Structure formats: C-alpha cells, structure tokens
Chains A and B, each alone.
Chain A
Amino acid sequence: MIERLFSMEGYGIFVWAAFGFTLFCCSALYLITKVQLVKQEKKFFVKFGKLTQEKIEIAKKQKINKEILVSKPNYNF
C-alpha cells in the first residue's frame, strides 16, 4: 500500500517532486515573511524604548502603535 503511494506506477517521482516543490516554496515564503515581520516589530520596540516619556504618550495615542504594543504585552514602556 505504502509502495503504491510512493511509486504511483512509475509516476511517483513526478508527482512527489511537484508536491514537494510546492510545499517547500510555501514554507520558505512563510518563514521569510515571518522573519521580516518580526524584524520590523523588533525595530519598532527598540525605537519605542528610546523615546522620552512625553513622546511615548504622543505615540501611544495612535491606534496602530497601540495595536503593535498590545500584540507584545511583555514590553512595558
């Protein structure tokens, strides 16, 4: 049964190569995108941490800034 799944009457190499390539591309794109997002978030927190209290209050008034800060509750400013 397993052998039938892998060999597929001689077409297995083509079928598995196509599915393998697709899943590889999806995983690679997901990982690259995730890394880019985390990198931008880290940059944001570093910059936010360097702000003065007065500027923090101004920045916190913006909805998106608030959303970013809420997404990582471990950071306290």
Chain B
Amino acid sequence: MFKIINPNNLFGTSNKIRKVLFFLFIILIVAGLLEALWFSPKDYIQNHAVRIMYVHVPSAWISLGTFLAIGVLSIFSFIFKNKNFLIISKCLASSGFMFNIVALVTGSIWGKPTWGTWWAWDARITAMLLLGIFYLMYILSWQVFEKEETKQKVSTIIAILGIVNVPIIKFSVDWWSTLHQSSSVNILSESTIHSSMIVPLVIMMVAFVIFSAVIFLMKYNSEIIKLKNKGLDRL
C-alpha cells in the first residue's frame, strides 16, 4: 500500500525528477512574473496593489495545504507505525514555514495601501500567525530533543494540535466579521475573480507547488543520506 513512499523508491525517483522540476519551476516563475507584473490588469478599486495577490494567495494556500499534509501524515504514522511518514512530514515543514512567512509579510505589505495599516489583529491574520508558531514549534521539536523517540512524539503532537487551526483559518472570514476579505476563488461555488487575474494566479500557484516539491525532494534526500551515514558508522 505504501510502496510508492518507500525510501528506496522515493530516493531514486527524487534524483531523477528534481532537475526537471527545477527547470519547470524556472519557466513557470518567469511566465508567472510576466503575467503578474505586466500583462494582468490593475483592479478598479485596489489599483496596482492587487498584483501582490499573485504571491500572497498562493503562498497562503501552500502554507495551509502543507500543514494539513504534515498533520495527516503524522496521524498516519501514529496509526500505521510507519516512520517514513514522519520523515516526509519533517521534510515538508521548511517550505511550508517559508510560505507562511511570505504570506504574512506580503499580506502586511498589501494591507498598508488597501487598509491603511501594516497589521490588524483580525481572525484570519491572527490564525495565520498561529500557524506560523505551530510551524516553528514543529521544526524546533526536531532540533531541540536528543532522543529520536521524543522528537517523533513531540512533533506528532504539535502537528495534530496544529491541524485544528487549519479549518479555523479557512473559515475565519465566514465565521467572524473580519478586515480580511472573503475568498474570491472558490472550487465549489462561483468565483468572483476575473479570468484575466485567474491565469497569473494559477501559474504562480503551480510554480510555488513545484518549488515546494523541489525543496521537499532535496530535504528528503538529505535526511535519507543522514540515516545512511549513521548506517555506515554501524557497519
């Protein structure tokens, strides 16, 4: 069932596809930047400030999706007692955390010209900040403890606790009256965003997903080689 994520398979595949993915990322990021900064139209209310959306929104989505994946994989590792799930979760965290910081900072930069303030303790923004804290705690849990078992237990607990925050972030704009606008892009209902803005948003989103995949594969290989180094010591 878990053959595909077996370290032997994933390590080999990673070496083969990493360079292709990086090349694809470069092409997409160039196309995305051209679309976002040049070809896409300005907004009738937010003017050119709307262009910040093309880095802010994909970053927020990826940061949220990555933590969801970390939480689900941590639950899987607990149920199926498969440590490879934990290695995968650990390797996903750094890019998720980086995109969380990007979402918070670009959101703050976007807030100044549109809301007149760099920061507001609004439900969505505060929940995103909380997600960043969970990411930080998760990453630190792998660094500060000596025993491997403690690292695994603490990181799993943090991931499972943090997953509760994910639906709060998603629905915060519907549950509470917030300064942050509600979703413009919806999968289940009609989107309120013009197609000329959807194109750069999708390109940037795909580019960032591929970037996350490249970082994940590099981290994963690094972790596996680290384990192999320990193995060589034991030979």
A68 to B224, CA, bound (A): 10
Whether B110 is near chain A, meaning CB under 8 Å from some CB there, is yes
Contact in complex: A30, B15 (CB < 8 Å): no
Contact in complex: B225, A44 (CB < 8 Å): yes
Whether B48 is near chain A, meaning CB under 8 Å from some CB there, is yes
Contact in complex: A18, B235 (CB < 8 Å): no
A64 to B224, CA, bound (A): 8
**B37, B49, B229: the one within 8 Å of A14 (CB):** B49
Taking CB atoms, residues of chain A closer than 8 Å to B11 are: 64, 67
Taking CB atoms, residues of chain A closer than 8 Å to B51 are: 8, 11, 15, 19
| B-contacting residues, A11-64, CB 8 Å | 11-12, 14-15, 17-19, 21-22, 25-26, 29-30, 33-34, 36-37, 40-41, 43-44, 47-48, 51, 55, 58-59, 62-64
A23 to B235, CA, bound (A): 43
Contact in complex: A14, B112 (CB < 8 Å): yes
Interface size class of A (residues with CB under 8 A): 35 or more
Contact in complex: B110, A18 (CB < 8 Å): yes
Contact in complex: B232, A14 (CB < 8 Å): no
Taking CB atoms, residues of chain A closer than 8 Å to B95 are: 29
Contact in complex: A15, B37 (CB < 8 Å): yes
- The interface residues of chain A, by DSSP majority, are classed as helix
In the complex, which residue of chain A has the Cβ closest to the Cβ of B97?
A29
Taking CB atoms, residues of chain B closer than 8 Å to A11 are: 47-49, 51, 113
In the complex, which residue of chain B has the Cβ closest to the Cβ of A41?
B225
Taking CB atoms, residues of chain A closer than 8 Å to B102 are: 21-22, 25
Whether A71 is near chain B, meaning CB under 8 Å from some CB there, is yes
| A-contacting residues, B16-66, CB 8 Å | 33, 36-38, 42, 47-49, 51-52, 55-56, 59
In the complex, besides A8-B47, A15-B52, A64-B228, 19 extra interface pairs with C-beta distance below 8 angstroms are A5-B37, A8-B48, A15-B49, A15-B51, A18-B110, A19-B37, A21-B106, A21-B109, A22-B59, A22-B102, A25-B98, A25-B101, A29-B95, A29-B215, A36-B222, A37-B221, A44-B228, A64-B8, A67-B11
Q: Residues on A close to B: CB < 8 A?
A: 5, 8-9, 11-12, 14-15, 17-19, 21-22, 25-26, 29-30, 33-34, 36-37, 40-41, 43-44, 47-48, 51, 55, 58-59, 62-65, 67-68, 71
Q: Which 6 A-B pairs have the closest CB atoms?
A: A8-B48, A11-B48, A40-B225, A18-B106, A22-B55, A18-B52
Q: Residues on B close to A: CB < 8 A?
A: 7-8, 11-12, 15, 33, 36-38, 42, 47-49, 51-52, 55-56, 59, 94-95, 98, 101-102, 105-106, 109-110, 112-113, 211, 214-215, 218-219, 221-222, 224-226, 228-229, 231-233, 235
